[in-house]
Structure 1
Amino acid sequence: MSQNGQTAAPAHYAPTAKWLHWIIAGCVLFVIPAGIVMLRLPDGDAQNRLFDLHRSFGVLIFVLAVWRVYVRRTHGAPASHPGLTRLERIASTAAHHTLYVLIIVMPLLGWAMTSAYRVDVSVFGLFTLPHLVPQNDKLYEVLSTIHKLGGILMALIVCAHIAGALKHTIIDRSDLLWRMLPNNWSK
């Protein structure tokens, strides 16, 4: 405990937090392009498989995101990197908090949207989620629009997040990226 009664921030991210970060990142980097492609495919087996995978990975992202929030609450996170400017700290914090919200809310929106359309959410063919809402075409349209806009926002923030990490690593030659790599990957 620090002098003001609060627990001091840890020096490093917990190993579980690091792995969850990269697994969720991989899943997000799949669902965003899959979401774009599946809407452009002609009706048929390929489109249906991609929809099923998109939904399944969405459920996986949700479960992992809840776990990640739990790990962050129980293990904490290091303070902002000391090499960041005030503006970079603000942008970083805003981006991270928005991504946390999106990786939890987007799967729930997708599940509700799919329920309103009255399609089952089969998770990797292992089980089917119950419908969250009754069939409702108007609700489907609203949720679909929000889900698409959320996907665009997520894609933009993910691109900015990656660009920021690369900028700090390549241009600034900072160790910021290395803080999130699993220990055996660190320099």
Structure 2
Amino acid sequence: MIGRLRGTLLEKQPPEILLEVNGVGYEIKLPMSCFYELGDVDKEVIIYTHFVVREDAQLLYGFNNKMERLMFRELIKVNGVGPKLGLAILSGMTANQFAHCVEHDDINSLIKLPGVGKKTAERLLVEMRDRLKNWVTQDLFTPEADKAQLQGYGNTASNAIEEAEEALVGLGYKPAQVAKMIKQVAQPSMSCEEIIRLSLRATLQN
């Protein structure tokens, strides 16, 4: 089991990164809630990982801390929730925000996430309630976090929008929905990450 990697961040293409560790490049998928916190390309980072082995693929999912990884592992234990949906859930909200939804039976916020219908949301609330009894919730999307500079790729605005669209579709949102989400928030000076971040937040607030 690969549980932790420390290396140089070579590429960032939401929601995937390429991390070089001792000459080996690891492709790792991160929820956007973790992706936002990554440093610049060519910087050293530490990623906590969850390794998934399937018949047709071996996949690494990454997280900035053990608590985010723990939430992911609890999510994929829920009937009908696989790694892809777990990644989408933690892209739309942080682990603490999800725990807050469970604590307050906030089904309306959950059904706004891609791939989460009413039945899945109800199942998440029921099955996760006991598992998250001792989880300390707080909102990680604070004003201070909003003020932090989000690193782009030096791309043009059109490329940033295209990359954001591709990432959101990959998370499970429908193309028409993605176009509407991005249209509401995108500005010429925004990076791909910032467009994704604000699009996801606007979806939860609507």
Q: Normalising to structure 1: TM-score of the pair?
A: 0.29
Q: If you compute each CA radius of gyration, which structure gives the higher value, 1 or 2? A: 1
Q: Which has the higher contact order (CA 8 A, sep 6+)?
A: 1
Q: Which structure has the highest helix share of the two?
A: 1
Q: Which structure has the highest strand share of the two?
A: 2
